[in-house]
Chains A and B, each alone.
Chain A
Amino acid sequence: MSGPFAPGRRVRVKALYPPGHTRTPWYTRGREGVILDLVDVEPDPEERAYGRPGLPAVPVWRVVFAQHELWPDYAGPAGDRVVVGIFEPWLEPVEERS
């Protein structure tokens, strides 16, 4: 898979708060994670929710977020994490830090 989205790539969830139906949990917005794998390519639920076909279908990526990234005051160890399916239009690539 070419392009900015592939397993292992660092991504950020867009900090957008549009009205209407979305599948992007609020706690992930504006947060950075790493793509684990591709779930599927699915009709866009933000369109389907309003009776439209949601085509072309969009890739859905499982993204791994460190708990300390999601919640700066998280009390547990550094290895704790949350894996969330994120629809690709919500993702933006993060430049690798060297």
Chain B
Amino acid sequence: MSHDHHEHDHDHDHEHDHGHGHPPGERHPFQPDLEDGPYTWHMALADAVEALLLEKGIFRPEEMRRTLEDIDSKTPANGARLVARAWVDPAFKARLLADVNAAAAELGIDAGPIPIRAVECRPGEHHVIVCTLCSCYPRLLLGAAPDWYKARAYRSRVVREPRAVLAELGLELSEEVAVVVHDSTAELRFMVLPERPAGTEGWDEARLAALVTRDCLIGVARPEVPRA
């Protein structure tokens, strides 16, 4: 794995003995604090709408805080549990493909009110999700989307040159495998049901779930068995 010290953008505090844009001996420039950025039109709009909703009593501050905390408590581990169960239980897999929200409820996972559909990777067919119009993501199941998922580069390129985007993210697919991109435009979210990797025969669900990362659930990675 190569690491280009001139390109990185990080907030670490390790020793600064490598060259990256400031002369040796000089202090590393501080990363800007949140308040140092501009207060944008959309930030003002969001604040104004929030204040109005509270003022009009549409919901109370504590309800809003609870909802935000609820979203923050969701993680890709929820999706990984669904995938692992589907791998070991064909009947559950059929129910997951029919209705993700109902299947999640079976495992005690509240996937929220917006319908989610699972798209299944098979030999010769790989699936990947995007929202080109904005940044729709099954966040009530998997938590907040990664920043790159919301970036214009991913959203515009993955429908135009998906193989190049996947390769940049570390997933090289042969021409024998069709790439199917799902663009979320309606009141429907997607998650990817990846293929179970070879070499996991007899594994229990917890061990299988540990292979399923957030990127696998978006479709920009495939579960891999760690090499011994």
Contact = CB atoms under 8 A, between A and B. Distances in A.
A77 B177 CA distance: 9
**Range, interface on chain A:** 20 to 34
A71 B160 contact: yes
B175 interface: yes
Contact of A82 (B133, B159, B186, B187): B159
B89 interface: no
A42 B187 CA distance: 8
B160 A39 contact: no
B66 to A, nearest CB: 26
Contacts of A27: 132, 159-160
A75 B183 contact: no
A63 B171 CA distance: 26
B187 A40 contact: yes
B182 A83 contact: yes
Contacts, number: 64
A70 B132 CA distance: 14
Contact of B183 (A25, A60, A74): A25
A76 B186 CA distance: 27
A42 B186 contact: yes
Contact of A25 (B163, B185, B187): B185
Given A39-B186, A39-B188, A81-B179, 12 more contacts: A42-B186, A60-B187, A60-B188, A70-B159, A71-B160, A80-B162, A81-B180, A82-B183, A83-B181, A84-B183, A85-B183, A85-B186
29 contacts: A23-B133, A23-B185, A23-B186, A25-B132, A25-B159, A25-B185, A27-B132, A27-B160, A40-B115, A40-B188, A42-B186, A60-B186, A60-B188, A70-B159, A75-B161, A76-B161, A76-B162, A76-B175, A80-B162, A80-B163, A81-B181, A82-B159, A82-B181, A83-B181, A83-B182, A83-B183, A84-B183, A84-B185, A85-B186
